[in-house]
Amino acid sequence: MATAVPESLAPAGDAPFSGGTNQAPAAEAALTCGVCLTDFDAMFRRPLLLPRCGHTFCRLCIKDLAARGDIICPSCRQKYENVEPDSLPVNFNIQCLASSSKIHTALQAEDSGSLCPEHRVRLSFWCSSCDAAACGECLFDHHPRNSHSVCRIQEVVTQVKERAERLSIASCEEVVIRLGYSVTRTLRDLSDIQEAAHLLQETTRIYRKAQSANTLSSITSVFESAKTVRDRVWALQDGIEEGNSVSIPDQVILSSRPAVLALSEGGGLAQVKVEKKGIHVYSLRPASTAYSVAIKLTVLMSCVKKESPMVFLDIKAGERRLGRVYITLVGKMKRSQQFQALCLGTLGPCYRGTRFDGMSEKGQPGEYLRGGDYQGKGGLGGEALMDNLEWGREWSQPKTAGQVCGVGGEEQRKFGSLFAVCLRDNPDDVFKCPFGNVTEGLEVLQVACRHEPFNVVHVGDCGLLIPLS
């Protein structure tokens, strides 16, 4: 059974794995943290990339450096001021290689000790008819191929590995759905508690008014108020009788008072709402916002599909809301990681409140909209938050409607956070580095382009989407 190898793990050719004996120690060194000399993993020692210098160290060591003040790279002494460790991008190539290396080493160790007790030969085959491992000698003695189903044992390992991966992905998706339902129920319960407390105060006030009312008009007013309160009480009871079934309306928040927020390690708070398309994590605000329940932002981020994260932009013209745009990003690209950070504000700057600064090729094939200047310099700002952003070469693609592309090239760091959204196809022209696609709401941007005056069109809010399906 052939198994596809992910591109990030596939060797470019035979050369890196042939010949020299010094390559293995070098590869092993690349998979360990240079500070604590411990192997990277996908949990506590995730490889975090320092974006300006490109060096990688484990999460625990980066946190230890940050606890002493500004992060200073142990390799080159590059200084990172006011940077939260968990806001640094993960070096997914190193993480995948580290995980793959551990699995391969474990399999080698297991195979070397798995000898046939009868023939003292390595068990290289698996007989599914007998549900047992076999060596080459066993195939002749006990597992004839004309009547038994036999395959190489590595194929069984591959099959089990694929099943385990599918189960883990399915479990993650189920957890995200349950998380959405839990947030929904929490919001409803909080709203009911506050509504019940308010109704208790209302009933006390109405009772006192009924005792003191002496005229027909006053007692009629009290009676109408009592009926209204009674209807609201019955509404609470109906909610209890509905049981545990959860439906997700356009917006689940039933009251403006209760709030579920995501708490970043830097103390910022992001509002969490469960809407039709899933869990929406809005951009971070200062910690002065009042809230009822807080979830760690890192917990929500662990539910994001790393290969294709989704973000959203709420587009406004002045105070008028034009609509919402959903964008699916190419997770492996640094421009995508930077765009996601700017939608959430995890690295400090945020796209919230930024204006769209212009259009190019208006009315022509390849027409696109420009934005992303978080520095407010009319399209002449928007400095990159990460180094070595993709540009040109293998990243270039023909212009298609919905593409989201970077603007600042390799030598234009001051424009590195700007972006363009293509509104019309033009197969005769290219974007240098498309890193995402508008999956819903392209018509909102097309309406925004026609708005007069155009200079009031901006991003009202933005954030991250965790789909529930």
| One-character DSSP codes across 428-463 | EEEES-EEEEEEE-HHHHHHHHT-SSGGGEEEEEEE
Q: Which of 139-148, 335-344, 356-365 has the highest mean pLDDT?
A: 335-344
Q: Provide the 3-class DSSP secondary structure of residue 48.
A: strand
pLDDT tier, 242 (very low <50, low <70, confident <90, very high otherwise): very low
The pLDDT value recorded for residue 149 is 86
* pLDDT tens sequence across 172-208: 767 777 776 776 677 667 667 767 777 888 888 888 8
The pLDDT value recorded for residue 216 is 83
Instruction: Using the predicted structure, report yes or no on whether residue 17 has a pLDDT greater than 70.
Output: no
Widest pairwise Cα distance in the chain: 106
Cα 236 off chain centre by: 36
pLDDT tier, 299 (very low <50, low <70, confident <90, very high otherwise): confident
d(CA 253, CA 251): 6
Range scoring the smallest mean pLDDT among 88-97, 120-129, 180-189, 455-464: 180-189
pLDDT tier, 318 (very low <50, low <70, confident <90, very high otherwise): very high
Beta-carbon count within 10 A of 106 CB = 10
Range scoring the smallest mean pLDDT among 155-164, 254-263, 311-320, 388-397: 254-263
d(CA 102, CA 41): 9
Structure token pair of residue 413:
């760091």
In this prediction, residues 368-390 reach a mean pLDDT of 91
Instruction: Using the predicted structure, report yes or no on whether residue 4 has a pLDDT greater than 50.
Output: no
d(CA 34, CA 118): 46
Beta bridge partners of 132: 127
Instruction: Using the predicted structure, report yes or no on whether residue 212 has a pLDDT greater than 60.
Output: yes
The pLDDT value recorded for residue 445 is 95
Cα 132 off chain centre by: 42
With CA atoms as reference, report the closest residue to 254 among 195, 196, 188. Answer: 188
d(CA 146, CA 367): 65
d(CA 86, CA 267): 12
With CA atoms as reference, report the closest residue to 270 among 244, 296, 245. Answer: 296
Range scoring the smallest mean pLDDT among 34-38, 161-165, 275-279: 161-165
264, 346 Cβ separation under 8 angstroms = yes
d(CA 115, CA 19): 29
Instruction: Provide the edge-to-edge strand list for the sheet that holds 125-127.
Output: 132-134, 125-127, 150-152
d(CA 422, CA 445): 10
The pLDDT value recorded for residue 136 is 83
pLDDT tier, 336 (very low <50, low <70, confident <90, very high otherwise): very high
Q: What angle do CA 295, 298, 304 make, to 5 degrees?
A: 105
Peptide bond into 85 cis (omega under 30): no
Range scoring the smallest mean pLDDT among 136-150, 249-263, 397-411, 421-435: 249-263
State how far the alpha carbon of 230 is from the alpha carbons of 58, 193, 227, in Å: 59, 16, 5
Beta-carbon count within 10 A of 273 CB = 18
Range scoring the smallest mean pLDDT among 1-5, 83-87, 183-187: 1-5
* pLDDT tens sequence across 265-284: 888 899 888 888 888 999 99
Domains of the chain: 26-95 (3.30.40.10), 167-303 (no CATH), 306-467 (2.40.100.10)
Instruction: Using the predicted structure, report yes or no on whether residue 108 has a pLDDT greater than 60.
Output: no
pLDDT tier, 27 (very low <50, low <70, confident <90, very high otherwise): low
What percentage of the chain has pLDDT greater than the value 90?
Answer: 31
Question: 3-state SS of the chain: helix, strand, coil percent to 5?
Answer: 35, 25, 40
CB proximity list for 312: less than 8 A, separation 6 or greater? 280, 324, 325, 326, 327, 343, 462, 463, 464, 465
In this prediction, residues 253-264 reach a mean pLDDT of 61
83, 66 Cβ separation under 8 angstroms = yes
Beta-carbon count within 10 A of 82 CB = 10
In eight-state DSSP terms, residue 6 is: P
d(CA 43, CA 275): 30
More reliable by pLDDT, 236 or 55: 55
pLDDT tier, 85 (very low <50, low <70, confident <90, very high otherwise): confident
Element (H, E) at 27: helix 23-30
pLDDT tier, 109 (very low <50, low <70, confident <90, very high otherwise): very low
| Dihedral of alpha carbons 118, 120, 125, 126, sign | positive
**Which amino acid would we find at residue 404?**
V
In this prediction, residues 400-417 reach a mean pLDDT of 87
Beta bridge partners of 370: 358, 420
The pLDDT value recorded for residue 239 is 52
The pLDDT value recorded for residue 351 is 97
